[in-house]
A and B are shown apart, each in its own frame.
Chain A
């Protein structure tokens, strides 16, 4: 029964890991509910808040709400994309299953790819129903942004995965003491990536830093699309270029932190 050879890359092994996490989600309704709960709560909060503010200011309620809801959805995609990656990784730590995986033929790249797949699946479970609710309650159709949305999504997922690899690497190397970072690290991008306001709002000295963050270009591009009905390919090219650097840096950090974990002996004694 022992396999007579072991391919250096296998989609079957990636599929096995996705299946493992699918079994977990399927067996736990609180996990499934949680995927939808926070996006739904925040969508209502931001939607009603913006309706209220826009009506009080006598402005165009629909445009203001649309801008903020689009920003909220894209931010949520970024945050939950990273969380979906990191949570799937943390499930292995909580289950004390990581050594079983590390002594199996599963390669680190396959492990990472399965975590990426899970981040998409987890996000789809929570995100899609909430975007449909937004149409019902606020008349905002995120999907109406069309093909540009695919470009926004691709960029935001790349950033989310880069951050996910970095956070997971930190937990691998430093143990569960670093778990909190997987929840909080992404929030450093919230003010700097100009999610809810244009880059020009920031002081001049901070703007170059903002432009060094891939999501900044995505949020600027989103505002151009919603407010001026203009798709900005220049911003998307800039975002993809930055994401290429971020993604390589994230992957490299994961590899180096995994190597550090093997040196420190922290792989054999992982757990809650």
Chain B
């Protein structure tokens, strides 16, 4: 039923905070089963865009739809098929990992929460500390638990804001591998905001580059690198962030 719809569709999305323009008329469509990176410097509008996709922030104008559901007016048509992880968000520290996951499993209406927790604990290597308080975990363990919470309902759309921030390279690599497997297994759509260019190059089929609330470029990582005549995405990012080189075409025009 949802096969023809883009998983996420933003249409002339605008967000003002008073006089400040956080997102300035962006449009894009994200295909089901893709991993898309949302890139941009601080203040580019990535978090606000993610907030509007998740229904946490109301757009000033325009619309964002997930599987055809307008996230400003009918978010609950889509939210049960979505999930989210962000360093700005935490889980209750005094609850154990198992208790936290149980609560979210029930909120998402899972039939067999215990079995799901056991499965996630195995997949994400949580077994050793699943009965420990969430606040007593290391940064790497907390990230794995946050990912477990984000995967508790096996979401069709997974939105990740800096999923490997402050992790050691081994744990970060482990998380990326898990995300790749999850996408392959579920044909899930993943939207990823990250400042880690290596991560974006490795994971993403497509990159949307934002600056001052607007999309300034949009394409596959290899295409962007070629378009800017650079060796890697980090150099492209610096070109865009510092305005050193104009892109060959505006992202909006590509849609």
Residues of A within 8 A of B (CB): 1-3, 5-8, 10, 12-13, 15-17, 19-20, 23-24, 27-28, 91, 95-97, 99-107, 259, 262-265, 267-269, 271
Contact = CB atoms under 8 A, between A and B. Distances in A.
Interface string B75-86: 011011111101
B116 interface: yes
B90 A103 contact: no
B178 interface: no
Nearest to A267: B56
Contact of A105 (B79, B84, B102, B103): B79
Interface of B: 15, 17, 22, 47-48, 50-51, 54-58, 76-77, 79-84, 86, 88-96, 99, 102-104, 106-110, 116, 133, 149, 153-156
B60 to A, nearest CB: 8
Given A1-B153, A105-B80, A15 B106 contact: yes
A102 B15 CA distance: 19
A265 B17 contact: yes
Interface of B is mostly: mixed
7 pairs of A and B residues whose beta carbons are closest in the complex: A16-B106, A96-B90, A6-B80, A3-B109, A1-B154, A262-B58, A95-B92
A12 B92 contact: no
Contacts of A102: 55-56
Contact of A99 (B56, B116, B155): B56
Contacts of B81: 2
B108 A105 contact: yes
Nearest to A10: B109
Nearest to B50: A268
A268 B109 contact: no
A183 B2 CA distance: 48
A95 B57 CA distance: 20
Contacts of B77: 6
21 contacts: A2-B81, A3-B110, A3-B153, A12-B109, A20-B92, A95-B91, A96-B89, A100-B91, A102-B56, A103-B54, A103-B56, A103-B79, A104-B108, A262-B55, A262-B57, A265-B57, A268-B47, A268-B50, A268-B51, A268-B56, A271-B88
